[in-house]
Amino acid sequence: MRKLFTSGAGMVLAVILAFGGVSAAGTADDPEVTDPAGDANVVSALSDEELDTRPASIDGADLRAIWLETSFVANKVLDPETGQVLRVVHSPTGLLLHFRTEAPMHPTEQDLSMFYRVRAQVRDGDGQFICSAVRFELEVPPGGTGGSVGVQRMFATCPGGMTTTAGLLAFDGDVATLSFPYTTGPFQELLPVGATISSLSEIWSFTRLEAGSQRRDTVIDEGDAAGRSFTIGQDVPPDIDCMSP
């Protein structure tokens, strides 16, 4: 894309050239939420005790960590006459949410979907609610071997009512990444830069059996440890002034 910039000292025209694609700065080494291994056994969820019952635990449903990242693009601002890089601008493009499990996600039985869910709140920079309750959810339907297919949803209870939408999805071994890009749906309004995602204290993995109008959920793993807050944009690198000495 092209954009013209002017400078009071010399009216420098520059061209912004995107490079490098979407990236993010966080890692799995410092997640917002953690949960112990070996407790994906239904029993722990019922008793509220984190019991390690391996090998009687479902590794693909065993939630281990959840972390958030801000996706961004880096753009070079060039002097069109000399081609010299004047600065590098980092622009947030959305939110990434990662689920890490003990093993790659998969349905527990051939006819049942697996669900993974985390609840949170979203406040703006002044501490006011944008959404008092947000539910991020991933469904891996039957036949989704190793998480090769999946559906993600975001349910947000906001002052304006309930919003349901979906973003992008990627799997990499034992990590599933939900992507909420600003170019899709209302994510820029619901998850803006500077907003804080907090109360990451309830995480689940569960199966759902539906028969006609009847629905029954069986919780396999549940985590209630309070998670750390995350401010969207906190992990985006600062812009670089390439003309500074």
- C-alpha distances (whole Å) from 177 to each of 9, 26, 44, 99, 244 are 45, 13, 26, 6, 37
Taken as a whole, the chain contains a residue count of: 245
Does 69 score more than 90 pLDDT? Answer: yes
The yes-or-no verdict on residue 13 having pLDDT over 80 is no
Please tell me the predicted confidence (pLDDT) of residue 31: 92
Residue 57 neighbours by CB under 8 Å, 6+ apart = 37, 38, 39, 40, 41, 102
pLDDT of the residue at 109: 64
> Alpha carbon of 27 to those of 66, 69, 73, 102, 125: distances in Å?
10, 8, 17, 17, 24
Residue 16's pLDDT is 36
Query: What percent of the chain stands above pLDDT 70?
Result: 83
Kind and range of the H or E run holding 188: helix 187-190
Whole-model pTM: value is 0.84
- So what's the pLDDT on residue 229? 93
pLDDT more than 90, % of the chain: 47
**What single-letter amino acid sits at 173?**
G
Q: CB–CB of 77/91 below 8 Å?
A: no
Residue 5: is its pLDDT beyond 50?
no
What span, in angstroms and rounded, lies between the C-alpha atoms of 155 and 153? 7
Give the whole-angstrom CA distance, residue 140 versus residue 149.
Answer: 6
**Mean pLDDT, residues 214-239 taken together:** 89
Per-residue pLDDT, 8? 33
Q: Return the pLDDT at 158.
A: 81
Among the listed residues 244, 242, 206, the one whose alpha carbon sits nearest the alpha carbon of residue 223: 206
Confidence of residue 212 (pLDDT cuts 50, 70, 90): confident
Do residues 179 and 170 make contact, with C-beta atoms less than 8 angstroms apart? Answer: yes
187 secondary structure, DSSP code = H
pLDDT band (50, 70, 90) for residue 85: very high
Report whether pLDDT(205) > 50.
yes
Query: What Å distances lie between residue 19 and 12, 13, 75, 174, 209, CA to CA?
Result: 21, 19, 6, 29, 46
Please tell me the predicted confidence (pLDDT) of residue 2: 28
Identity of the amino acid at 178: L
Residue 3 has pLDDT above 70, yes or no: no
Give whole-number Cα distances, 138 to 116, 117, 133, 183, 223, in Å.
Answer: 5, 6, 17, 20, 16
Instruction: Please compute the mean of the pLDDT values over residues 88-103 and round it to a whole number.
Output: 95
The stretch 110-123 carries a mean pLDDT of 88
Cβ neighbour number for residue 184 with a 10 Å cutoff: 14
**Average pLDDT score over the chain:** 82
